[in-house]
Amino acid sequence: MLVAASPPATARAPGEIRIGVLDFLGSEATVGEWSPLLHHIEAALPGQTVRLEQLDHAGMRAAAAAGELDFIVTNPGHYVELEAELGASRILTLDAGSGRTPARALGSAVVVRADRSDLQSLIELRGKRVAAVGREGFGGFQLIWGVLADIGVSPDEDFAELQTVGFPMSKVLEAVASGRADAGIVRACLLEGLGEAGRAFRVVAPREEPGFPCATSTPLYPDWPLASLRHTPPELARQVAIALLSMDADSDHPTWAVPADYQSVHDLFRKLEIGPYAYLREPTLMVMAQRYWPWVAGFTLVLLGWILYTVRVEYLVKQRTAALSAALAERDRLESAARAAQEQADHLARLSVLGELSGTLAHELNQPLATIANYANSIIRRADNGRLTDAALREATTEIAAQAERASGILSRIRSFARKRTATREAVAPAELAGEAIVLFRGMMARAPEIALIDTVRPDSRIEVDRLQVQQVLLNLLKNAYDASRELPPDRQPLEVRLAATDGGLDIQVRDSGVGIDDATRARLFEPFFTTKTDGLGLGLSICRSIAEAHGGRLVADTPADGVGTCFTLSLPGLQCDPTHD
């Protein structure tokens, strides 16, 4: 439900969003202007009640400071002041359309009665009575003030009278029409919006602004922002921004765009020494010396100022050097933390692969353990029957030792693979790299498929990689290939690992003869948390691609030329061969 109220109350209803709007047109016009925005937010955020607070400059500042507003919609000048004073942060900029862009939408017009012909330029405002809504009006005073400053006209010193009539802005036109003021300052496009009534006035010194549909006496500035405040929940600000960015741009009401650049507003305020730059009006020591002290005392102060400046520069250099050192130390700390996090992620990924294979590992270890138990029981029975010979004892103990070594080898490879350690790179033979991964994979599978290793790389080739990380990738690819084909007939269950040299690199291909993957799945295959397995986490292939890219390579999935199964290709750079090898 949309609610309009002014002034804001201190009590806040649950689920209520309060938006303060600068009321420069009058209550009825303001509600009509901003109702589409409020209705759209309520439609996009069910259960929320949006409350419109129609405020003047002082009322909005007080309500924002008291935490009674969640968002504000105001002119750029007022926003810049609230940004510096209360930490307001723009999240969107109004896009009024009709030839106006968010960055070029606001101007100011000096208007006179259409029957006057004596005022043709802004410099002729000297000695005239001028009406404006107030000094805080952006389009209603400050933009014209900036142009007058450029031509050497001061509203305070050169106007016969500066009349501040307040909001709504129509009061300015009333003062001009009644003759109480010779000219008035209004927001550009106000006259055009009045239709026939606007023809009673004329804009002084209109400028040529390409594409702008209204007469303006000033350059153009960004449109009104929608801003959040320090106490506005970031999630609420994000939801409101997303909701307003989805407004239909073809509708007859204003829409919203990403925040515009308000640097031109800062430049204007700095020139006028107002708002955040009011401190520039304070007199410097040099001005005080020139105004109140004799020349000798002035020279002394200048010298003292130079000394103080030198001391301050040295202090700032030391301070900034310390800050830079702290920043570099923080960067090193963050890099170290990032490396530790990556190592932890790799370690967890290896444990995840082992977890997926742990169901078959017990069965694989059971074979050597069962053999050891059988031979041990055989020795006991023969000893009990008095039939234990040296040959039988030697045969049994030899077999027991062999099976124990087999079980120890399986556990040693798994423990080495699962061990957490710092990433290191070494030159390794491609065939050795792939062979160890295949042995590890087959050692953890109860019914491991046939895996053909096709090596077309020169025997003296070496590639510098992190052996364990690359084997982690191959083990993950072999597990995926096994899962894709284990339910198929036996002739389609064998896997193939192919090593091939490329231009300065190495391609390791893992192929299965499964059902393959469709284009939609292939497009998302390497996204984190995307999986086609009912018990998968969706992290394996994402981490595999990260490992490939960390080595300067890549990991891709394709359908083989014969259209059967899937082929994953791990491409790694830096394959080197012994130049002395024939």
* Residue 63 falls inside a structural domain: yes
**Residue recorded with tokens 């023969």:** 382
Same domain? For 447 and 542 the reply is yes
Within a domain: residue 449?
A: yes
Q: Residue 270 corresponds to which tokens in the numbers above?
A: 């700095």
List beta partners, residue 72. Answer: 20, 227
DSSP code of residue 153: -
Amino acid at 140: G
Are 85 and 112 part of one and the same domain?
no
Determine the longest span between alpha carbons in the chain, in angstroms: 136
The reply to whether 435 and 532 lie within a common domain is yes
Q: What is the pTM of this model?
A: 0.48
pLDDT confidence of residue 123: 93
Kindly list the distances between the CA atom of residue 573 and the CA atoms of 289, 342, 435, 553, 579, in Å, as whole numbers in the listed order.
Answer: 71, 21, 19, 6, 18
Output the pLDDT for position 26. 61
Nearest to 45 by CA among 10, 92, 9, 1: 1
Report the alpha-carbon distance of residue 553 to residue 360 in Å, rounded.
32
Domain boundary among 220, 239, 274: 220
Domain that holds residue 197: 108-220
What are the distances in angstroms from CA 513 to CA 85, 382, 453, 496, 566? 67, 50, 15, 9, 7
Asked if residue 428 belongs to a domain, the reply is: yes
- The pLDDT assigned to 480 comes to 86
Q: What are phi and psi of 499, to 5 degrees?
A: -110, 130
Rounded CA gap, 347 and 334, in Å? 20
Given a contact cutoff of 8 angstroms between Cβ atoms, the answer to whether 221 and 264 are in contact is: yes
pLDDT, tens digit only, all 582 positions of the chain: 344 444 444 455 667 899 998 876 666 666 667 777 788 888 888 888 888 888 888 899 999 999 999 999 999 999 999 999 999 999 999 888 777 888 988 999 999 999 998 999 999 999 999 999 988 889 889 999 999 999 999 999 999 999 999 888 889 999 999 999 999 999 998 898 888 888 999 999 999 888 888 999 999 999 999 999 999 999 999 999 998 888 776 556 778 899 999 999 999 999 999 988 888 876 655 545 555 557 767 778 888 889 998 898 888 888 888 888 888 888 888 877 767 766 666 665 555 555 555 544 554 565 567 667 766 877 887 788 877 787 778 877 887 887 677 667 666 656 655 555 556 788 999 999 898 888 877 766 657 788 999 999 988 899 998 887 888 788 888 888 888 888 888 888 899 999 999 888 999 999 998 888 888 888 888 887 677 765 555 667 877 888 888 889 999 999 898 888 999 999 999 888 866 555
Residue 494 sits in the same domain as residue 509:
yes
Q: Would residue 289 count as lying in a domain?
A: no
| Domain final residue, candidates 199, 220, 241 | 220
Tokens of 550: 């960390």
Q: Which of 205, 237, 257 is the last residue of a domain?
A: 257
* Residue at 352 is within a domain: no
Tell me the C-alpha distance between 145 and 269, whole Å: 10
Residue 515 lies in a domain: yes
Domain check: are 27 and 96 in the same one?
yes
| Residue 553 in domain | yes
Please tell me whether residues 542 and 526 are part of one structural domain.
yes
Both tokens of 386, joined, read 């008095």
For residues 452 and 491, membership in a common domain is answered with: yes
pLDDT at residue 95, as a whole number = 87
Please identify which residue in the block is written with the tokens 């990032």. 338
Query: Looking at the structure, do residues 446 and 545 belong to the same domain, yes or no?
Result: yes
210: which DSSP letter?
T
Domain-embedded: residue 248? yes
How do 129-132 and 225-228 pair as beta strands?
unpaired
Instruction: Give the number of domains in the chain.
Output: 3
- In the Cβ-directed half-sphere of 426, how many Cα atoms lie within 13 Å? 10
| Predicted local distance difference test score (pLDDT) of residue 201 | 95
| Domain containing residue 554: CATH number | 3.30.565.10
Asked if 190 and 76 sit in the same domain, the reply is no
Same-domain check for residues 428 and 568: yes
Number of H helices, E strands in the chain: 16, 19
Shared domain check, 168 and 54: no
Same domain, 215 and 228: no
CATH number at residue 35: 3.40.190.10
- 58 C-beta neighbours (distance < 10 Å), count: 10
Taking CA atoms, 231 is separated from 6, 7, 16, 75, in Å, by 21, 20, 14, 21
